[in-house]
């Protein structure tokens, strides 16, 4: 019986670092969403704010609200929007972070974003290969960035060399 209790406690302790890493990686991902913008050049648009929209489930809770409150990107105050369906995404969005589980919905959102010069960011496996612009993954709290350069060009976005230099850049992939 002692061995069984010890084994259960050990298994529980082994799970704690995984949960912590997940929380830390989520925080890093939240920070990266805004930081990526400093390396992106959008077509000239006369907007008063910089809009980040999260489409799908919100894995961040209130973290984005706390992180970006009273902050600015490209000299514009940040406005956060949350949408569950593509129809709720405003066309004045600058960054669209996708957490949609279904690939057909993701694909529709990617096409919408491309037509409206919106930077798409996601962490789903194969996101960049399916036309998303930036795929952001974390492995042991280290960022891995994959950029679909052709998709960015088709959306009218230019990605700065510093970001390209630290990313895996996909070229010739379906935009």
The Cα–Cα gap between 175 and 155 comes to 9
Q: What is the mean pLDDT of residues 74-96?
A: 95
> Mean pLDDT of all residues in the chain?
85
Q: What is the pLDDT of residue 14?
A: 35
In a domain, residue 175? The reply is no
Per-residue pLDDT band at 174 (split at 50, 70, 90): low
In a domain, residue 115? The reply is yes
Q: Per-residue pLDDT for 17 more than 60?
A: no
In a domain, residue 7? The reply is yes
The Cα–Cα gap between 124 and 85 comes to 17
Instruction: Work out the angle at residue 69's Cα, subtended by the Cα atoms of residues 132 and 20, and round it to the nearest 5 degrees.
Output: 65
Tokens of 106: 């993701």
Q: Per-residue pLDDT for 77 more than 70?
A: yes
Structural domain span for residue 90: 2-170
Q: What is the pLDDT of residue 76?
A: 94
> Of the ranges 1-5, 82-86, 138-142, which one carries the lowest mean pLDDT score?
1-5
Question: The domain spanning residue 38 has which CATH number?
Answer: 3.40.50.2300
Burial zone of 63 (CB within 10 Å; 0-12 exposed, 13-18 middle, 19+ buried) = middle
In a domain, residue 42? The reply is yes
Q: What is the pLDDT of residue 19?
A: 38
* Total domain count, the chain: 1
HEC profile for the chain?
CHHHHHHHHHHHHHHHHHHHHHHHHHHHHHHHHHHHHHHEECCCCCCCCEEEEEECCCCCCCHHHHHHCCCEECCEEEEEEEECCHHHCCCCCCEEEECCCCHHHHHHHHHHHHHCCCEEEECCCCCCCCCCCEEEEEECCEEEEEEEHHHHHHCCCEECHHHHHHCEEECCCCC
The Cα–Cα gap between 172 and 150 comes to 7
In a domain, residue 88? The reply is yes
Give per-residue pLDDT as tens, 26-54: 888 899 999 999 999 998 877 899 999 99
Residues 155 and 119: beta-carbon distance below 8 Å:
yes
In a domain, residue 13? The reply is yes
In a domain, residue 124? The reply is yes
In a domain, residue 91? The reply is yes
Give per-residue pLDDT as tens, 123-142: 999 999 999 999 998 777 67
Q: Which residues pair with 146 in a beta bridge?
A: 135, 168
């Amino acid at each position: 019986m002692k061995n069984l209790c010890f084994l259960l406690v050990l298994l529980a302790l082994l799970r704690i670092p995984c949960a912590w890493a997940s929380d830390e990686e989520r925080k890093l991902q939240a920070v990266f969403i805004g930081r990526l913008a400093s390396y992106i050049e959008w077509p000239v648009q006369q907007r008063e704010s910089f809009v980040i929209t999260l489409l799908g489930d919100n894995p961040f809770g209130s973290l984005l609200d706390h992180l970006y409150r009273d902050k600015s990107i490209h000299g514009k105050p940040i406005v956060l929007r949350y949408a569950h369906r593509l129809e709720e995404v405003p066309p004045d969005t600058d960054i669209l972070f996708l957490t949609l589980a279904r690939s057909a919905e993701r694909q529709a959102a990617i096409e919408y974003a491309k037509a409206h010069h919106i930077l798409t960011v996601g962490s789903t496996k194969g996101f960049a290969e399916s036309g998303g612009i930036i795929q952001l993954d974390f492995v042991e709290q280290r960022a891995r960035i994959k950029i679909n350069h052709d998709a960015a060009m088709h959306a009218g976005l230019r990605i700065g060399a510093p970001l390209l230099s630290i990313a895996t850049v996909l070229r010739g992939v379906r935009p």
